[in-house]
Amino acid sequence: MYMTEQTIEEPSDAAQVKQKAENKEKFGIEEMMGAGLHFGHKTSKTHPRMKPSITGVRNGIHIINLEKTRENLAAALAALADLAMEGKTILLVGTKVQAKDLVRELGQETGLPHVTDRWIGGLLTNFETVGKRIVHLKDLEQKKGGEEFQKYTKWEQHEMEEEIKRLEAKFGGVKNLQKLPDAMFIFDLEKNQIALREARQKGVKVFAIVDTDCDPASVDYAIPANNDAVSSLSYIIEKVRDTILSAKSRAAVQ
């Protein structure tokens, strides 16, 4: 079920007030404005379903309602924490120039699989076939690290090393993905529609930053925010990192 206003169960008044108070402490509006989360795209590029998350226009650019951002970010992080506590696999996707280094670092720090160069076609819908290429990469790495590597000619060693480089660039971030992920976090939704379609086909829960040109109803947890500025991406990624590491730490001591 997609996360839309029609499908969200409204909490009690007391719980709602408490949640809003907690959100204000965690995500300050001025802090989010300073990171540029509120800047959307030109009004001509706005997706109709994003209108409830827009609060105005400035110089032909739609301005995102940060109260909505705060509410949805809190809900998404709570769900991510639950997944991390349960040991579920979350695949991180960010291939836009502004996002790739940040997402790669997030994946390395949290130990989560990640795609940061370009989406690997069929990663979800043809997982078994893609998995064979990953196994091949691991086999080559094992050969290179073993004594038998010296048995190959200099040319064969060079060719093997070049193939490892090519495969590592493509599959390195998902090398330890043993099964389909339980969830996916897409940091640049408009650029990774194929990833989104594959996730929907396989029933993988999707979290995403949705800028004003994106369809928030296409994902389960939509965080309305600028996904072009490094400062905005960094802000959200920091929250995701802290949430996942904290949840893993709690799970480890239980």
Domain count, the chain: 2
Q: Give the Cβ contact number of residue 9 at 10 Å.
A: 4
Average the pLDDT over 9-14 and give the result: 54
Q: Tell whether 70 and 184 lie within a shared domain.
A: yes
pTM of the model: 0.87
CB 223 within 8 A of CB 38: no
| Residue 159, domain CATH | 1.10.287
Question: What's the pLDDT at 16?
Answer: 54
* pLDDT higher than 70, residue 22: no
Q: Do 50 and 169 sit in the same domain of this protein?
A: no
Cα distance between residue 96 and residue 81, in whole Å: 25
Query: Does residue 93 sit in the same domain as residue 203?
Result: yes
- Indicate whether 19 belongs to any domain: no
Burial bucket for residue 223 (CB in 10 Å: 0-12, 13-18, 19+): buried
**Structural domain ending residue among the three candidates 139, 173, 207:** 173
pLDDT in tens, 192-251: 999 999 999 999 999 999 999 999 999 999 999 999 999 999 999 999 999 999 999 999
> pLDDT tens across 156-190, in order?
999 999 999 999 999 999 999 989 999 999 999 99
Residue 150 shares a structural domain with residue 54: no
pLDDT tens-digit readout, 64-112: 999 999 999 999 999 999 999 999 999 999 999 999 999 999 999 999 9
Q: In CATH, what number is assigned to the domain containing residue 217?
A: 3.40.50.10490
Q: What is the mean pLDDT of the chain?
A: 91
Which of 115, 138, 173 is at the close of a domain? 173
Q: Are 80 and 106 in contact (CB under 8 A)?
A: no
Whether 8 has a pLDDT exceeding 60, the answer reads no
Structure confidence at residue 5 (pLDDT): 37
Q: How confident is the model at residue 4 (pLDDT cuts 50, 70, 90)?
A: very low
User: Is residue 116 in a domain?
Assistant: yes
Q: Same domain, yes or no, for 112 and 184?
A: yes
> Strand locations in the chain, DSSP E?
39-42, 54-58, 61-64, 90-93, 114-115, 183-186, 205-210, 221-224
Give yes or no: residues 50 and 77 share one domain: yes
DSSP 46: -
**Coil vs helix vs strand at 162:** helix
Range of the structural domain that residue 168 is part of: 127-173
Query: Does a structural domain hold residue 38?
Result: no
Tell me if 96 is assigned to some domain: yes
Q: Distance of alpha carbon 6 from its chain centroid, rounded?
A: 24
pLDDT of residue 27: 86
pLDDT tier at 10 (50, 70, 90 boundaries)?
very low
- Which pLDDT score, from 0 to 100, does residue 13 have? 66
